[in-house]
Chain A
Amino acid sequence: MITIESLTKTYGRFTAVDDVTFTAAPGRVTGFLGPNGAGKSTTMRIMTGLTPATSGEALVCGRRFRDLPNPGLQVGVLLDASAQHAGRTGREVLAVAAGTMGLPASRVDELLDLVGLTAAESERRVRHYSLGMRQRLGIAAALLGRPEVLILDEPANGLDPAGIRWMRDLLRGYADQGATVLLSSHLLHEIEVVADDLVVIGHGRIVAQGTKSELLAAAGTVVRATDPVALETALRASGLSFTGGGAGPRAAGGTTSADLAGSFTVDADAREVGRVALGASLHLTELRAADGAGLEDMFLELTAQTQREQTQREQTQREQTPRDTVTTSPEGAAA
């Protein structure tokens, strides 16, 4: 269990974390989502006692982190996979961590095995590790003490698609055993696959939180039939609120009308919409949950703001040094 209560962190006049309150519950994966620089990492460093909070409180397992007697056995932490001594071998990194926690050396081999680092790789120095290998090593270090809470900052960074899949399954299984898993990401799609609950942060403030199904379901159901006119009539008769159908909002979205011809977004779940369609004996060609457009739009809005600021900064730099070779495009920064 992680309990964050009115947490605020200011640096001079800049507020990095602004009155943040949320809970990460046992048995669930909580996704901590926000664009780069939104305050995710600062919040996580405060949770783990590395950064003092300006005000508010962060409790892990019901206690302040610094009051945990042997934190490694209760909280697994991975904040930055690259923060390891370049000259130490991967195995030695784990051996030192296991030694500090008081675990037997055999635990190191178990974890190397679990995260898929071979014996030969474990004898190499971290300097020669790829980012993906460092993430695996960091996850191994976090899991060493069989902690009941996991705090992971961008653990999927640098992992290949198979690695991301592996980590997702691992975290899911871990939460299913009753652990509290908090992981951050700046990618909505990466986190919505694995998270049960979402906490969305932007500019240091929480902008949305709740279960994933709530946040994503808010957008309703997309339905399409061979006979859009009949579908529209049936929906109108059912009393459900809906959008779409004619040439309305789709044109604004910029998609061709052929794509969305006869497509409606209904403020109800698929079961309800299906019943209406069945009642009108309609031949449906599509019936699915909408893509959490509300959350995605909000997230894009947050990201876009951050990007505008970045672009502005880059422009300022360019003006200051006319011969500068800044080539990062806003699109590049988005990826």
Chain B
Amino acid sequence: MSALTESAPPTTTHPLRAEVGIADPPPIPFGRIVRMELRKSFDTRAGFWLLASIGIAAVLATVATIVWAPDDVLGFESFATAIGVPMAVLLPIVAILSVTSEWSQRTGLSTFTLVPRRSRTIAAKATGALLVGVVSMVVAMGIGALGTVLGASLRGVDVVWDTSTAGLARIVLAQVLGMAVGFMLGVLLRSSPGAIVGYFVFSFVLPTLAMALAAFQDWFKDLQPWVDFNYAQTKLFDDALSGTEWTQLGVTGLFWLVVPTALGLWALLRAEIR
């Protein structure tokens, strides 16, 4: 030790830094981290096709609605519902992979050395996923609207706009909550297959089990709206939510979404990146 310090030349200037002319670089702006996280969602074949598949699925769902839906339900709501189904599967996967690929592909090693405050990267990922979700939904609704007009003219029926703005907003909220669940599972499990399987269990297996339980057990039937997050979310697709239903959504969301996200973040910020 002593030998090393003694023999080290007293270099205090760093020509390399002087060369670029920066004394202490300014911090990385948050917007730039968001931009890079968005870029990382698109710049692999898997990522690109996952996002492209949202558009493709929206087109397919629209075509299917035009071809198969009976004349009397060929309104915008039918299109929005048909498009919403594949999106409810694909958007959460976008959210999951934005987090878990850092572990599954081990890119976290460079991501978190370039931005060592992990909370900034995670916040940027959440923002990026939200942007992808919102843009996808706008595009999907555009496709749905086109389908509504096209379907009506092909079938020779009146164009029907049977969805209110508030109704659309609630559908968007439901999709965003789905993405938030995906993001939560990604943060909590930090594994792509784990989080994706977890999402399907949570969103497609649990509701069936809960439904069965509610059908056979009266005590659960009364309790369900207060403990079942999926059940509380289904109300978003109904006409309007009562104050109680909003409260139930908030309470179940707190337990199923906010608390696990907080736990996942707490662990993620302290975890060892290998």
- Assess whether B4 is in contact with A147, with CB atoms less than 8 Å apart: no
- Assess whether A27 is in contact with B272, with CB atoms less than 8 Å apart: no
Complex contacts, A18 vs chain B, CB 8 Å: none
- Assess whether A28 is in contact with B8, with CB atoms less than 8 Å apart: yes
Contact with A along B28-43 (1 / 0, CB 8 A): 1000110110011001
CA distance A93 to B27 in the complex (A): 21
The smallest beta-carbon distance between B83 and chain A, in angstroms, is 28
Contact with B along A157-192 (1 / 0, CB 8 A): 000000000000000000001110000000000000
Which of A209-217, A272-280, A282-290 forms part of the interface with chain B?
A209-217
B107 at the binding interface (Cβ < 8 Å):
yes
B81 at the binding interface (Cβ < 8 Å):
no
- Assess whether A50 is in contact with B44, with CB atoms less than 8 Å apart: no
CA distance A211 to B22 in the complex (A): 31
B5-52 residues with Cβ-Cβ distance < 8 A to A are 5, 7-9, 11-17, 19-20, 22, 24-28, 32-33, 35-36, 39-40, 43-47
Contact with A along B46-75 (1 / 0, CB 8 A): 110000000000000000000000000000
Choose among A65, A102, A148 the residue that contacts B17 (Cβ–Cβ < 8 A): A148
- Assess whether B25 is in contact with A100, with CB atoms less than 8 Å apart: no
Please give the number of chain B residues whose Cβ is less than 8 angstroms from any Cβ of chain A in the complex. Answer: 50
- Assess whether A179 is in contact with B16, with CB atoms less than 8 Å apart: yes
* CB-defined A-B contacts under 8 Å, sample of 18: A23-B5, A27-B9, A48-B113, A48-B116, A65-B113, A69-B27, A70-B27, A74-B17, A77-B110, A82-B106, A83-B109, A85-B105, A87-B44, A197-B8, A210-B4, A211-B3, A211-B4, A214-B3
B131 at the binding interface (Cβ < 8 Å):
no
Report the interface size class on chain A.
35 or more
- Assess whether B114 is in contact with A71, with CB atoms less than 8 Å apart: yes
- Assess whether B270 is in contact with A72, with CB atoms less than 8 Å apart: no
Given pairs A99-B39, A100-B36, 5 additional interface contacts (CB within 8 A): A83-B109, A84-B105, A85-B107, A87-B46, A92-B43
Complex contacts, A72 vs chain B, CB 8 Å: 113-114
- Assess whether B117 is in contact with A66, with CB atoms less than 8 Å apart: yes
CA distance A16 to B34 in the complex (A): 36
Contact with A along B92-116 (1 / 0, CB 8 A): 0000000001000111111011111
- Assess whether B26 is in contact with A97, with CB atoms less than 8 Å apart: no
Choose among B13, B26, B45 the residue that contacts A70 (Cβ–Cβ < 8 A): B26
The residue on A at minimum CB distance from B22 is A73
A22 at the binding interface (Cβ < 8 Å):
yes
- Assess whether B45 is in contact with A87, with CB atoms less than 8 Å apart: yes
Complex contacts, A48 vs chain B, CB 8 Å: 113, 116
- Assess whether A50 is in contact with B36, with CB atoms less than 8 Å apart: no
- Assess whether B14 is in contact with A26, with CB atoms less than 8 Å apart: yes
B1 at the binding interface (Cβ < 8 Å):
yes
CA distance A125 to B47 in the complex (A): 14
Choose among A52, A66, A92 the residue that contacts B270 (Cβ–Cβ < 8 A): A52
Choose among A50, A68, A100 the residue that contacts B273 (Cβ–Cβ < 8 A): A50
Complex contacts, A50 vs chain B, CB 8 Å: 109, 112-113, 272-274
- Assess whether A99 is in contact with B35, with CB atoms less than 8 Å apart: yes
Across the A-B interface, the 10 shortest Cβ-Cβ residue pairs = A25-B8, A87-B44, A83-B106, A210-B3, A50-B273, A69-B27, A66-B116, A70-B25, A148-B14, A83-B109
- Assess whether A84 is in contact with B113, with CB atoms less than 8 Å apart: no
- Assess whether A146 is in contact with B19, with CB atoms less than 8 Å apart: yes
The residue on A at minimum CB distance from B24 is A69
Choose among B1, B7, B32, B43 the residue that contacts A100 (Cβ–Cβ < 8 A): B32
CA distance A50 to B17 in the complex (A): 25
CA distance A79 to B274 in the complex (A): 9
The smallest beta-carbon distance between B267 and chain A, in angstroms, is 12
Complex contacts, B105 vs chain A, CB 8 Å: 83-86
Complex contacts, A249 vs chain B, CB 8 Å: none
A21 at the binding interface (Cβ < 8 Å):
yes
Q: Given A69-B26, A73-B22, do A148 and B39 touch, yes or no (CB 8 Å)? A: no
CA distance A82 to B110 in the complex (A): 11
- Assess whether A177 is in contact with B27, with CB atoms less than 8 Å apart: no
Q: Given A27-B11, A86-B105, A178-B15, do A102 and B28 touch, yes or no (CB 8 Å)? A: yes
- Assess whether B4 is in contact with A197, with CB atoms less than 8 Å apart: yes
Choose among A45, A77, A177 the residue that contacts B15 (Cβ–Cβ < 8 A): A177
Choose among A25, A52, A93, A102 the residue that contacts B4 (Cβ–Cβ < 8 A): A25
A24-78 residues with Cβ-Cβ distance < 8 A to B are 25-28, 45, 48-52, 65-66, 68-75, 77
Complex contacts, B33 vs chain A, CB 8 Å: 100
CA distance A23 to B22 in the complex (A): 25
CA distance A147 to B46 in the complex (A): 33
Complex contacts, B114 vs chain A, CB 8 Å: 71-72, 97, 100-101
Complex contacts, A77 vs chain B, CB 8 Å: 110, 113
CA distance A66 to B178 in the complex (A): 32
- Assess whether B11 is in contact with A70, with CB atoms less than 8 Å apart: no
Choose among B12, B19, B39, B272 the residue that contacts A96 (Cβ–Cβ < 8 A): B39
The residue on B at minimum CB distance from A211 is B7
Complex contacts, B1 vs chain A, CB 8 Å: 21-23, 209
The smallest beta-carbon distance between B15 and chain A, in angstroms, is 5
The residue on A at minimum CB distance from B33 is A100
Complex contacts, B272 vs chain A, CB 8 Å: 45, 50-52
CA distance A30 to B11 in the complex (A): 15
- Assess whether B106 is in contact with A80, with CB atoms less than 8 Å apart: yes
A194 at the binding interface (Cβ < 8 Å):
no
